[in-house]
Amino acid sequence: MVRSLKNPKKAKRKNKGGKKGEGSSNEVPSLPAKVWQPGVDKLEEGEELQCDPSAYNSLHAFHIGWPCLSFDVLRDSLGLVRTEFPHTVYCVAGTQAEKSSWNSIGIFKLSNISGKRRDMVPDKKGDETDMDSDSSDSDEEEEEAGSGTPVLQLRKVFHEGCVNRIRAMTQNPHIVASWGDTGHVQVWDFSSHLNALAESESDLSHGASAVSNQSPLVKFGGHKDEGYAIDWSPLVPGRLVSGDCKNCIHLWEPTSGTTWNIDANPFVGHSASVEDLQWSPTEPSVFASCSVDGSIGIWDIRVGKSPATTIKAHKADVNVISWNRLASCMLASGSDDGTFSIRDLRLLKEGDAVVAHFEYHKHPITSVEWSPHEPSTVAVSSSDNQLTIWDLSLERDEEEEAEFKAKMKEEVNAPTDLPPQLLFVHQGQKDLKELHWHSQIPGMVISTAADGFNILMPSNIENALPANDA
């Protein structure tokens, strides 16, 4: 099931990764590169796409057994802003196993994540020099920082039923909440597993660890149906909201570090399933919700059980939302019709708060998340098997494009109908479900799909590069 990315140039999978503006084919190397547009261009018989490793500072694939619909990146103590390879990450993920009794929550550590450091624009060198040094200097230039294959260490805890959504508490990442398809929301303490992973080097085998039985701290059965929406407050440790497919949202208030008072009287304002929830990054009593009814609700837990504001957000189901933690007036939402929108909440009173609306994706949006390091950057995944990264601060500059083409001394055949804000397109995963930025490793994105996980660091995201490498 897992794909090896050790030698990406030799990959024979279709649609494996790709940077906007780049494509590769070894059949007609003499022709200028042409941009291949997903969903627009068709592959002829015998043609295939190959990964261009120059598009990434780092790219790795792995899996933990069964596919995972949801996962979360855990905050760790290895450094607040890490730029040097090799990297180490900690995550939790919930499985979607073939049989209900085979499901588990995986707590894992992926270490020795290697990658490249490179300049944003190639150095000014003569063509002859470039040709001559292609087999020697460039190999040294592209040498990975950190060598070998990433090491996956995994511990598994039995989970009753499939895991629809899983989220770790920001302030205490060993406390994890899971939404099961059994209709139960459970909260877990995984500190013992994380401590064992932190102390272990490589003695845990790849995905073969036994499943342990552990009782949750809380098992809440007050929802009338299963659900997908759940979020921990970034401001109040332990405060949680969970929403279900019957339109009910329940508030969890911590009474200690391991106990909660769960309000049996739900917040109700949507006419259909609550699909996602997000706490405000600046106001501890305010959260947002989105629903199959096409709306977004803004709620204040101090003023009753109805939304303070309801926004007709999309023409179809609103699947996901993300509240920008660096620019708290901005809320992103993704819909079943493939569109995603950005709203400036300061403009709600004036009517239309939409400041950006994109129709690039043609299939349902499955995940959207603002970058924790760049307030104008957002990542999106879709059922069209694409993960896209957008920089909303970008605008098309024809003079700059002409200057860049002259500097590169080649024709850049970029399509004119691509949105100028589209920074990067990643492909190669089947049935993408969820993505997260790593809050402590600038430029790193982790994504999960039916065929496993990818860790990627696009080479054209400036903050992915160490400052002293510029």
Let me know: does 235 contact 205? Beta carbons within 8 Å.
no
Of the candidates 146, 31, 33, 18, the residue with the CA atom closest to the CA atom of residue 87: 146
The string of pLDDT tens digits covering residues 192-212 is 999 999 998 764 444 456 999
What b/e readout covers 204-230, taking b as 16+ CB neighbours within 10 angstroms?
bebbebebeeeebbbebebbeebbbbb
Classify 112 in phi/psi space as left (phi over 0), alpha (psi -120 to 50) or beta: left
Lowest model confidence (mean pLDDT) among 188-192, 246-250, 322-326, 461-465: 461-465
What domains does the chain contain, in order, with CATH numbers?
A: 58-115+147-384+428-458 (2.130.10.10)
Q: Average pLDDT, stretch 119-143? A: 41
- Return the higher-pLDDT residue of 273 and 44: 273
> Residue 176's pLDDT band (boundaries 50, 70, 90)?
very high
Q: What is the pLDDT of residue 462?
A: 65
- Return the higher-pLDDT residue of 404 and 86: 86
Helix (H) or strand (E) holding 199: helix 191-199
The dihedral built from the CA positions of residue 209, 210, 215 and 220, taken in this order, carries a sign that is positive
Q: Average pLDDT, stretch 375-390? A: 98
Lowest model confidence (mean pLDDT) among 160-169, 173-182, 209-218: 209-218
Q: What does the CA dihedral 362, 364, 365, 367 come to, rounded to 10 degrees?
A: -140
The string of pLDDT tens digits covering residues 237-252 is 999 999 999 999 999 9
> Residue 396's pLDDT band (boundaries 50, 70, 90)?
low
Q: Average pLDDT, stretch 131-158? A: 65
Distance of CA 45 to the CA centre of its chain: 33
Lowest model confidence (mean pLDDT) among 53-57, 154-158, 295-299: 53-57
**What are phi and psi for residue 51, nearest 5 degrees?**
-70, 135
Q: Is the pLDDT of residue 21 over 70?
A: no
The fraction of the chain above a pLDDT of 90, given in percent, is 71
The string of pLDDT tens digits covering residues 430-448 is 999 999 999 999 999 999 9
Distance CA 247, CA 197 (A): 38
The fraction of the chain above a pLDDT of 70, given in percent, is 77
The string of pLDDT tens digits covering residues 346-371 is 999 888 899 999 999 999 999 999 99
Rounded to two decimals, the pTM is 0.85
- Return the higher-pLDDT residue of 74 and 12: 74
Helix (H) or strand (E) holding 295: strand 295-300
Q: What is the pLDDT of residue 136?
A: 36
Q: What does the block give as tokens for 273?
A: 């399933």
The string of pLDDT tens digits covering residues 34-46 is 666 776 777 778 7
Q: Is the pLDDT of residue 130 over 50?
A: no
Neighbours of 409 (CB within 10 A): 7
What b/e readout covers 345-373, taking b as 16+ CB neighbours within 10 angstroms?
beeeeeeebeebebebbeebbbbbbbbbb
* 393-397 CB contacts, 8 Å cutoff, 24+ apart: 394/420, 394/421, 394/423, 395/420, 396/420
Lowest model confidence (mean pLDDT) among 278-292, 335-349, 385-399: 385-399
Only one residue has tokens 């497919």, namely 245
Query: Residue 34: exposed, middle, or buried by beta-carbon count in 10 A (0-12, 13-18, 19+)?
Result: middle
Distance of CA 329 to the CA centre of its chain: 21
Distance of CA 438 to the CA centre of its chain: 9
Q: What is the pLDDT of residue 38?
A: 72
What b/e readout covers 106-128, taking b as 16+ CB neighbours within 10 angstroms?
bbbbbbbbbbbbeeeeeeeeeee
Q: Is the pLDDT of residue 157 over 80?
A: yes
The helix/strand/coil state of 469 is: helix
Distance CA 410, CA 19 (A): 18
Q: Is the pLDDT of residue 293 over 50?
A: yes
Residue 461, amino acid: I
> Residue 416's pLDDT band (boundaries 50, 70, 90)?
low
Neighbours of 399 (CB within 10 A): 7
Q: Average pLDDT, stretch 20-47? A: 58
Q: What is the pLDDT of residue 464?
A: 41
Instruction: Round the average pLDDT of the chain to a whole number and report it.
Output: 85
Q: What is the pLDDT of residue 461?
A: 86
